[in-house]
Amino acid sequence: MRTTLVACLSAALFALPLTEAKAAAAVAAAAQPLAPISMTGVSDTGDTVELRFDALPSKSGTLTIKGDRSNSPAKSFPVSYELEPVAKNALESPIVRITFDNHQKMTIACDPLSDNCHADGYPTVGGTSFSILWHITRADTKTAQARTHASP
């Protein structure tokens, strides 16, 4: 049995377990993530770029260019995001639409069976462009799992 897109994206973005029995719980818990979620990529200078998403329903987040390779100071920019609705019985691939503070847009589609994602272009934010390849990272998943097991 296939897991729904919402369950896959909820599990990927909010570090929830992805079992069929808990798929419905993943959808219900999506509005209250247990751990911070983010995606990492690489800038045109080789610096690490992180997209960190705030918990729903805020639909906002932060793009941080860390400056770890270029030895420049880290720069952060506000973003807003939206999860694309899924058509019933469609091929399921989690999609996130991101709007930057300079009104540029980027759509990131994720493989529902892995943490790998790709963007639809090379936006430039704060004078820096970044790769189309992104990877979902889960911050503090051990704490999130401990909270899941401790809750009634």
Q: Write down the domain spans for the chain.
A: 35-150
For residue 120, what pLDDT is reported?
Answer: 94
Based on DSSP, count helices (H) and strands (E) in the chain, helices before strands: 3, 10
Chain Cα centroid distance, residue 32: 15
| Triad 130, 136, 141: Cα angle to 5° | 140
Radius of gyration of the chain (CA): 16
Mean pLDDT, rounded, for 105-130: 90
pLDDT tens digits, residue range 8-22? Answer: 455 555 444 444 333
**CA-to-CA distance for 135 and 152, rounded, in angstroms?**
32
Residue 122 pLDDT greater than 50, yes or no: yes
Higher pLDDT, 57 or 135: 135
Rounded-to-integer distance, Cα 74 and Cα 121, Å: 23
